[in-house]
């Protein structure tokens, strides 16, 4: 089994001549050949052509043009360069367990289906189907309404790397709910023997809860309004009574 993994792009550089420009870059990669072995390569390309490389199998630099052969011979005489390449090879070897224990077999996604707020006022709701921590990268999410594929009002992200060799993806479906309608997200992936279906099951109390909260808020607002009106009328009556007393009995102190 051969698993190729590019670990690090070391450098990109441009060289210019009078006639035109040459594009060159260096690439460090690890080629995992078995659970016990790995080939480390440090390669130099010019205009997408491999010009020279260090190969851990040979333990030295090799040039494929006359000029690069001269450069390779000088590098092979430099113990410091060769020692650094051996250290890089060892770094590749430390990743063997990860590659063969994780990346050599599919990892089943964790899927969540939930209702989120829609920025579009024409759609009171938006369903989001999210798949997390799966490998390999390729996956397919399909929306179904009453068993039929939905292709409109659907937006999806690309497979997003988590940074730990695993991926995640998110798909959105704008909906106008209908009574008795069945909406599901179908997931197809190499880790699954057959597609998996995840049904959206809205909480039966969610509608009543929203109504109860709205009614409580309305009632609370009404109570404060009535209390404020009573307080205002009471204060107004006291001011009117005080003014009347002052006019009728100017020498009387209340």
> So where are the chain's domains?
3-103, 110-199, 205-254
Global pTM value: 0.48
Least confident of 56-70, 96-110, 183-197: 96-110
d(CA 115, CA 252): 71
Encoded tokens for 152: 């409109």
208 φ, ψ (degrees, to nearest 5): -65, -35
Starting from the edge strand earliest in sequence, which strands make up the sheet with 60-63, in order?
3-16, 21-32, 38-46, 49-55, 60-63
**The pLDDT value given to residue 192:** 94
For residue 93, pLDDT beyond 60: yes
Per-range mean pLDDT, top range of 67-76, 171-180, 197-206:
67-76
Q: How far apart are CA 181 and CA 201, in angstroms?
A: 10
Domain 110-199 has CATH 3.20.20.210: no
Domain 3-103 has CATH 3.10.320.10: yes
Of the pLDDT bands very low, low, confident and very high (cuts 50, 70, 90), residue 2 is: very low
Count the helices and strands in the chain (H runs, E runs). 4, 14
Q: How much is the pLDDT for 102?
A: 65
Residue 71 scores a pLDDT above 70: yes
217: tokens are 């808020």
Decide if pLDDT at 240 tops 80. no
The string of DSSP codes covering 77-128 is: T-HHHHHHHHHHHHHHHTTHHHIIIIITS-BPPEEEEEEE--S-TT-SEEEE
Question: Residue holding tokens 């590749």?
Answer: 92
In the block, tokens 């090799």 appear at 62
CB 56 within 8 A of CB 89: yes
Sign of CA dihedral 59, 65, 70, 75: negative
| CA gap 169, 161 in Å, rounded | 9
Instruction: Cis check for the bond before 167: say yes or no (omega within 30 of 0).
Output: no
For residues 143 and 175, the model is more confident at 143
- Best mean pLDDT range from 93-97, 99-103, 221-225, 236-240: 93-97
Average pLDDT, the chain: 77
Q: Name the pairing type of β-strands 60-63 and 38-46.
A: unpaired
Tokens describing residue 62: 């090799």
Measured CA to CA, the distance from residue 72 to residue 60 in angstroms comes to 8
Q: Are 130 and 169 in contact (CB under 8 A)?
A: yes
Nearest 5°: the CA angle 83, 84, 88 is: 120
Residue 33: pLDDT band (50, 70, 90) is confident
Least confidently predicted of 90-104, 108-122, 172-186, 237-251: 237-251
């Amino acid at each position: 089994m051969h698993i190729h993994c590019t670990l690090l792009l070391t450098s990109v550089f441009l060289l210019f001549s009078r006639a035109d420009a040459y594009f060159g870059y260096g690439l460090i990669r690890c080629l995992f050949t078995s659970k016990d072995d790995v080939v480390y390569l440090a390669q130099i390309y010019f205009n997408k052509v491999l010009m020279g490389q260090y190969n851990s199998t040979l333990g030295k630099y090799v040039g494929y043009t006359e000029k690069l052969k001269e450069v390779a011979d000088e590098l092979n005489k430099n113990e410091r360069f060769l020692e650094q390449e051996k250290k890089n090879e060892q770094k590749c070897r430390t990743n063997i367990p990860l590659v063969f224990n994780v990346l050599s077999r599919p990892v089943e996604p964790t899927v969540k289906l939930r209702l989120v707020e829609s920025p579009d006022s024409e759609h009171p709701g938006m369903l989001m189907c999210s798949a997390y921590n799966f490998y390999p990268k390729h996956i397919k999410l399909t929306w179904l309404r009453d068993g039929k594929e939905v292709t409109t009002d659907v937006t999806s992200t690309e497979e997003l790397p988590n940074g730990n060799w695993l991926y995640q993806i998110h798909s959105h479906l704008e909906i106008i709910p209908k009574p008795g309608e069945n909406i599901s997200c179908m997931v197809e992936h190499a880790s699954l023997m057959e597609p998996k279906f995840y049904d959206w099951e809205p909480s039966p109390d969610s509608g009543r809860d929203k109504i109860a909260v709205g009614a409580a808020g309305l009632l609370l607002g009404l109570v404060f309004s009535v209390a404020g009106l009573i307080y205002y009328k009471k204060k107004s009556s006291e001011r009117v009574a005080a003014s009347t007393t002052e006019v009728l009995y100017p020498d009387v102190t209340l």
